[in-house]
Amino acid sequence: MVDNLKKPEMLKYFMSGYFNQSVSWSDLEGLATDFKEREPKSMVKQLISELKMLQDVLQKGDKETWREIEKYVHEYSMRYLDFEDGPEFINTVLKAIQ
């Protein structure tokens, strides 16, 4: 990945197992809450860390890195996460799991 970023494994897990293409954006907060309640705290902490890394990518306006992350996540979840949708996604999930 660009700038030697780690592959977001927990984001991939969350999006393939919870927020895949079969669910609506309106379900995101509830799915994130389910993730927090069902998964080990270590996994929740890892997802928080990865989401904060994504926030940094967004704040830098680094669309190239975002596209690489999006391709990686899409491969497993069949869901696209556009750069423009990133802030809403990140803020909703962080609010639910922190």
* Residues spanned by the domain of 73: 2-97
Question: What are the pLDDT digits (tens) for 7-51?
Answer: 899 999 999 999 998 999 999 999 999 999 999 999 999 999 999
Q: How many residues does the chain have?
A: 98
Q: Greatest CA separation found in the chain?
A: 33
Specify the pLDDT at position 96: 98
CA distances in angstroms from 35 to 44, 63, 80, 90, listed in the order given: 8, 27, 20, 14
pTM beyond 0.85: the answer is: yes
pLDDT tens digits, 48-68: 999 999 999 999 999 999 999
CB–CB of 73/8 below 8 Å?
A: yes
Report the domain count for the chain: 1
